[in-house]
């Protein structure tokens, strides 16, 4: 029995001579095994195509519905007037601005407390680099 390396080194003429040699016994099931192997290889190469046309229609319908809802909700609506009294509306706006101002002041206070810590850290880093 030849090794794979020896078989790979054979020339085309030597391979043809070996194939024409009738003294070499070939197993009877070889052609059946080869055809099964070739059939299995072809099946492995072909992508499996799903036979589900209903699924395709369902996906298309879902995409269309999502697009329709997206378009419906993206169309700007005309604003509703929630206050009948303009003075009440102005008071509500003032209250909202005051709330924003309070939160901004609190954030500035917290940031102000962090400045000395950042300056001390910067000083330590400068001293390390000297």
pTM of the model: 0.33
DSSP readout, 23-76?
A: TS---TTHHHHHHHHHHHHHHHHSPPPP--HHHHHHHHHHHHHHHHHHHHHHSP
d(CA 91, CA 15): 98
Instruction: For residues 98-119, give the mean pLDDT.
Output: 87
Helix, strand, or coil (residue 113): helix
Q: Does residue 48 register a pLDDT over 60?
A: no
Q: Does residue 111 register a pLDDT over 80?
A: yes
* Domain ranges, ordered by start, for the chain: 96-130
The rounded mean pLDDT for the chain is 77
Higher pLDDT residue, 53 or 111? 111
Which of 29-43, 50-64, 88-102, 110-124 reaches the highest mean pLDDT?
88-102
Predicted confidence at residue 94, as pLDDT, reads: 93
Predicted confidence at residue 20, as pLDDT, reads: 76
């Amino acid at each position: 029995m030849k090794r794979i390396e020896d078989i790979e080194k054979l020339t085309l003429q030597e391979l043809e001579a070996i194939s024409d040699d009738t003294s070499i016994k070939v197993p009877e099931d070889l052609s059946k095994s080869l055809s099964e192997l070739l059939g299995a290889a072809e099946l492995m190469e072909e992508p499996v195509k799903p036979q589900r046309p209903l699924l395709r229609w369902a996906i298309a319908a879902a995409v269309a519905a999502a697009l329709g809802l997206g378009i419906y909700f993206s169309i700007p609506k005309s604003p509703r007037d929630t206050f009948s009294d303009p003075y009440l509306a102005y008071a509500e706006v003032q209250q909202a601005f005051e709330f924003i101002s309070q939160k901004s002041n609190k954030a500035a206070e917290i940031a102000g407390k962090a400045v000395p810590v950042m300056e001390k850290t910067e000083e330590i880093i400068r001293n390390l680099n000297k």
